[in-house]
Amino acid sequence: MADLIADKTLVAKFLLDTLEGTQSLAKDSVVCIGIDNDAWQQTTKALLKKYNVTTFTEDGWMICEPKPEAVAECCEITADLMEGQTEFEVVGQWGKKQDDGTHLQYGVVGDYICRQPHDHTDVWRVARKFFINTYAILDATATANIVELQTKTGA
């Protein structure tokens, strides 16, 4: 993102409305748009680790497909887990920045919490609808379900 804006201090003043909450743009991030027009940001390094660039649109957007080895651990947030509550917060690397510097993501019963198997600090919330449309469960018997990003076309 910083390569597109000459004044690097300006990047953080732009806000991105994501499913996880409103976020300031990070100077080393790229903006991604999902199959249901959901927006998020991640570093170029993280993007290329999980996705293959397949082509570019006429207006410069990269079209990416998940790599076959892109897996995550997940947990469905059920009513039983919530003990009467319907909403929850997740502390992640992205999300609405709090005064203490942490980032919160917000969810409801039925949503999923995912994390990277190799980095348990990389945690994110996925709305149920998006999870069902973009993830496939590979091993439902594990303590934390192991999921694979599915390739969806026609978005």
Is 0.75 topped by the overall pTM?
A: no
Is 51 contained in some domain? yes
* Range of the structural domain that residue 46 is part of: 8-66
Is 1 contained in some domain? no
> How confident is the model over 121-134, as pLDDT tens digits?
889 998 898 888 88
- Please check whether residues 59 and 77 belong to one and the same domain: no
Backbone angles phi, psi at 154, to 5 degrees: 80, 15
Distance CA 105, CA 46 (A): 19
Q: What pLDDT score does 108 carry?
A: 95
Q: Which of 47, 66, 85 is the last residue of a domain?
A: 66
Q: How many structural domains compose the chain?
A: 2
> How confident is the model over 12-51, as pLDDT tens digits?
788 888 876 788 888 788 898 887 788 888 888 988 988 8
- Please check whether residues 22 and 84 belong to one and the same domain: no
- Please check whether residues 145 and 77 belong to one and the same domain: yes
Q: Which segments of the chain does DSSP mark as H helices, in order?
A: 44-50, 79-82, 128-134
Distance CA 127, CA 146 (A): 17
Instruction: For the beta carbon of residue 111, count every other beta carbon within 10 angstroms.
Output: 22
- Please check whether residues 129 and 79 belong to one and the same domain: yes
- Please check whether residues 56 and 94 belong to one and the same domain: no
Is 109 contained in some domain? yes
Instruction: Tell me the pLDDT of the chain averaged across its residues.
Output: 82
- Please check whether residues 54 and 109 belong to one and the same domain: no
Confidence check: pLDDT of 54 > 90: yes
Q: What pLDDT score does 2 carry?
A: 43
Distance CA 104, CA 14 (A): 18
Q: What pLDDT score does 86 carry?
A: 93
